[in-house]
Amino acid sequence: FCSIPDNTNLCSKQSSVNPSVIPYKSSSNISSLETLKLDGYFSFDNIDYAAKDFGNRYHFLPSAVLHPKSASDISNTIKHIFRMGSTSRLTVAARGHSHSVQGQAQAHQGIVINMESLRGPEMKVHTGELPYVDASGGELWINILHETLKYGLAPKSWTDYLHLTVGGTLSNAGISGQAFKHGPQINNIYQLEVVTGKGELVTCSEKQNAELFYGVLGGLGQFGIITRAKISLEPAPKMVKWIRVLYDEFSKFSKDQEYLISSENSFDYIEGLVIINRTGLLNNWRSSFNPRDPLQASKFISEGKTLYCLEIAKYFNPDESDKMNQKTERLLSELRYVPSTLFMSEVSYVEFLDRVHLSEIKLRAKGLWEIPHPWLNLLIPKNKIFEFAQEVFGNILSDNSNGPIIIYPVNKSKWNNRTSLITPEEDTFYLVAFLSSAMPTSTGRDGLLHVLAQNQRILDFCSTASLGAKQYLPHYTTQEEWQTHFGPQWEVFVRRKSAYDPMAILAPGQRIFRRKL
Ligand code: FAD
């Protein structure tokens, strides 16, 4: 059963929603949904939005959208479809905040579940020795932050952007600058409540139904829909010292990053950026970051060179400011950045964590948020990162990039390897995220086709140079590629699929398995 859908289900890269397409309601399969007794409701009309995501390239129109008010709404719906067996072709996609980029939260002529309507029971913070928050799978991380802060607590591991749902990030991993210390978000979960592809509502954890628990974490939505999660918390700091320094040599930059992620008592957040061909860079930063030495900084010109920016942060409370500054000074003195490029800022914890939202507001105002995002996220083993950087930053992208390129190492020893997440074999690997935007109709270097061709060159290089790279937020079009992605874990993945979603009803937008008929 684990074959991918045929080409009619795979969309062309530039397809778009045709408003004249009539949803599939005429089918008896769909009309039978109206007989279900639910706390929430189905909608069948004006559901074009469910065929859109942040990537803005893939558009599959569903037949219906479920707005659940309870986990049993989801369970009853899936149970109903499961019982129809091979007489139904319906698939079901949980839609979090729909910030995936390749149609992963869509269901062609199927049912999309609008997870953000699943609010009850209310989010609850549990204090005590091992504090946690019990939240809906459709809850946004930004809401979790605000709620937990009322108790002086917060989750340990984040994504760079918080307007994403719990279920959406836990289906992948949830990686940011804290992952070297705490592992990704999927390593910071105590318990899940899940609706499987048979419609069963199951509670799972490390000790209870562990196979389902680890399968669902990083499982690309294949084994169940996360309706609730217990997320571990820590005392939240009030303030963040946020620092950026520049390097003109990749090797110094990466060695310093690797040193920082491996040393005890390091920063609380470590990321990095590649800056390609941008002069006047330092002036742009002045608004939010102060140079330590303004005179020296004003003399620094990037001259169109590729630069590497280390971004680090130290958390603190106002009464610990002196101690924090001493620690920061000591750590900085061990690094080899260009001395005049030390930029610092002090912001609240919320401002720091919600930083990308400010860019969102600015981009939305310019009409640049809802354009195609042909993103590519890779995990590159540490021992190949120099080879990768030489070819990709020195050749393929030597004179332009169409968005931020984020790069930082993480240490797998802090990660749990029982989840479904696939990473390179080495203990330390880099996340390299090419977060490109593209102009749909441009034929120039800012055009979609150009960016896609660049992405393909990067992927081809990884493959021909045998770097042992893995895609993060993976996207493939053939089953052979999925099998290669999972490697020895493929068998486990297939076994879990047949145990928890034997009809392949769930998450069709990932295009790993074909709906059983
Ligand atoms: P959706 O796009 O709605 O869904 C994604 C997949 O998960 C789909 O297959 C869907 O069916 C499934 N799914 C959704 N909800 C559930 C559920 N409750 N149960 C089971 N399956 C479910 N990722 C990082 O790791 N680190 C980052 O720093 C980061 N930054 C980002 C910044 C931006 C601006 C954007 C747009 C994305 C970023 N991402 C990052 C990627 C993001 O984590 C994933 O795309 C994530 O899936 C988005 O969450 P969502 O709620 O929008 O999920």
CATH code at position 159: 3.30.465.10
- Whether 173 has a pLDDT exceeding 70, the answer reads yes
* Residue 287 DSSP code: T
State which of 235, 264, 294 marks the end of a domain: 235
Taking only the tens place, the pLDDT of each residue in 137-169 is 999 999 999 999 999 999 999 999 999 999 999
Beta-sheet strands, E only, within 412-500: 428-434, 470-471
Indicate if 357 and 376 belong to the same structural domain: no
What separation in angstroms does the CA of 208 have from each of 192, 205, 214, 468? 10, 5, 11, 34
Q: Which atom of ligand 1 is nearest to the CA of 373?
A: 36
Q: Which of 445, 446, 434 is nearest to 371 (CA)?
A: 446
Which pLDDT does position 16 carry in this prediction?
A: 40
- Whether 303 has a pLDDT exceeding 80, the answer reads no
Indicate if 244 and 360 belong to the same structural domain: yes
Contact 218, 188 (CB under 8 A): no
Q: Is 271 part of the annotated catalytic residue set? A: yes
Burial of 127 (0-12, 13-18, 19+ CB in 10 A): exposed
Judge whether 243 lies within some domain. Answer: yes
- How far does Cα 478 stand from its chain's mean position? 22
CA-closest residue to ligand 1 atom 1:
98
Indicate if 199 and 244 belong to the same structural domain: no
Cα R_g (the chain), whole angstroms: 23
Indicate if 413 and 468 belong to the same structural domain: yes
Q: Which amino acid is at 69?
A: K
Judge whether 514 lies within some domain. Answer: no
Q: Per-residue confidence at 25, pLDDT binned at 50, 70, 90?
A: very low
Which one of 39, 48, 134, 160 is the catalytic residue? 160
Judge whether 38 lies within some domain. Answer: no
Indicate if 231 and 274 belong to the same structural domain: no
Q: Per-residue confidence at 184, pLDDT binned at 50, 70, 90?
A: very high
Domain count for the chain, please give it: 3
According to DSSP H, which parts of 301-369 are helical?
A: 321-333, 349-353, 355-365
**Ligand 1 near 505 CB (within 6 A):** no
Cα 93 from Cα 509, distance rounded (Å): 7
First to last CA, the chain: 9
Which pLDDT does position 21 carry in this prediction?
A: 39
Strands 64-67 and 111-114: parallel
Which pLDDT does position 264 carry in this prediction?
A: 85
Cα 483 from Cα 493, distance rounded (Å): 10
Name the residue range of residue 448's domain. Answer: 371-475
Q: List CB contacts of 397: < 8 A, sequence separation 6 or more.
A: 276, 405, 454
Cα 57 from Cα 475, distance rounded (Å): 13
According to DSSP H, which parts of 178-280 are helical?
A: 179-182, 210-216, 250-262
Cα 495 from Cα 484, distance rounded (Å): 16
Q: Per-residue confidence at 285, pLDDT binned at 50, 70, 90?
A: very low
User: Measured in angstroms, how far is the CA atom of residue 346 from the centroid of ligand 1?
Assistant: 29
Q: Taking the model in full, what pTM does it have?
A: 0.94
Beta-sheet strands, E only, within 175-238: 189-196, 201-205, 224-235
Backbone torsions φ then ψ of 318, nearest 5 degrees? -50, -35
- Whether 396 has a pLDDT exceeding 90, the answer reads yes
**Ligand 1 near 201 CB (within 6 A):** no
Residue identified by tokens 């441009």 is 442
- Whether 20 has a pLDDT exceeding 50, the answer reads no
Strands 92-95 and 111-114: parallel
- Mean of pLDDT over the chain: 91
User: Measured in angstroms, how far is the CA atom of residue 40 from the centroid of ligand 1?
Assistant: 23
In testing the pocket of ligand 1, which one of 117, 165, 496 has its CB within 8 Å of the most ligand atoms? 165
State which of 235, 253, 277 marks the end of a domain: 235
Contact 138, 117 (CB under 8 A): yes
Neighbours of 177 (CB within 10 A): 23
- Whether 85 has a pLDDT exceeding 80, the answer reads yes
State which of 337, 364, 391 marks the end of a domain: 364
Indicate if 359 and 439 belong to the same structural domain: no
CA-closest residue to ligand 1 atom 32:
161
Indicate if 344 and 387 belong to the same structural domain: no
Taking only the tens place, the pLDDT of each residue in 88-129 is 999 999 999 999 999 999 999 999 999 999 987 899 999 999
Indicate if 464 and 377 belong to the same structural domain: yes
Burial of 303 (0-12, 13-18, 19+ CB in 10 A): exposed
Contact 291, 282 (CB under 8 A): yes
Which one of 59, 97, 99, 108 is the catalytic residue? 99
